[in-house]
Amino acid sequence: MKLVTGNSNRALAEAIARYLNLPLTDCTVGRFADQEVNVQLHENVRGEDVYILQSTSAPADGNLMELLILTDALRRSSARRITAVIPYFGYARQDRRATGRTPISAKLVANMIAGAGVNRVMTLDLHTDQIQGFFDIPTDNLYSAPVTTRDIKERYDVGNLMIVSPDVGGVARARGIAKRIGTDLAIVDKRRPRAGVSEVMNIIGDVFGKTCLLIDDIIDSGGTLINAADALLEAGAREVSAYITHGVLSEGACERIGASNLRELVLTDSIQDTEAQRQTANIRRVTVAPLLGEALARTAREQSVSSLFD
């Protein structure tokens, strides 16, 4: 079993390697002068079961190319099996044709990854479950729910909690957390007048006097989450925090989160944090390294991965 990492999230890769008590494979993933990706493996991988640890977060195109070129290098070096471990799968939000004359970029990326020679894909909290079907190779979509649930139980009085979905599309995800904790579920009815702008219209459920926890898979600009928190507080919630798997947090998002009414935003380390995130007082991170490490170990031993989430 060999672990290889690109440059997207080396800290997470090192944490997974420590969990598995394995070293990261010695390789160079750099750039030529014209910024083309340059990969060189410095260890023999012939006949090995190799796992590439690489999120396709920003810069998405560069990190995706690192993944593809690492795969090609491993395939040409006679690796027995190549598994792409992609904690954050970029382009996942482009999973359908919402309007005419637009691409389905998530399917295109899936084709590129399989075409490069990947034998299996492992992801974390895909934006939509049907993206698994975009791959013509075995795909495991893991869930951060066990990590989130454990942190919530350690830090909150479950008896006064309300789990909240920030939109109708995320109800299944939020309901799963609410079921694990044994608490009620509320929904924010969100209307979006135009792309990138969200407007909260109504709260479905009684949140008066409750500690509300917003649950979602991705936070980008932060507008949806901030508007949802404001609406919940206006409806009588005692305080509002959020648990989000993937902290995309595009430019200016950290400042908006820091100035918002969110008591705390909890992110996993599926995406490498930035200095702006580290400087924002109400952003905290939990690690998914043990979860991913255990899933990798079970895959290598040909054991069940789904039993991790039973």
What spatial distance separates the first Cα and last Cα of the chain, rounded to whole Å? 26
Please tell me which residue in 2, 107, 179, 190 is annotated as part of the active site.
190
- Binding-site positions: 34-36, 93-94, 127, 167, 192, 216, 220-224
Annotated binding site for ATP: 34-36, 93-94
As a whole number of angstroms, the distance between CA 310 and CA 293 comes to 17
Binding site for D-ribose 5-phosphate, by residue number, is 192, 216, 220-224
At a CB cut-off of 8 Å and minimum separation 6, what does 76 contact? none
Contact 127, 93 (CB under 8 A): yes
| Active site (annotated) includes residue 210 | no
Amino acid at 205: G
- Rounded to whole angstroms, how far apart are CA atoms 1 and 25? 10
**Catalytic center residues:** 190
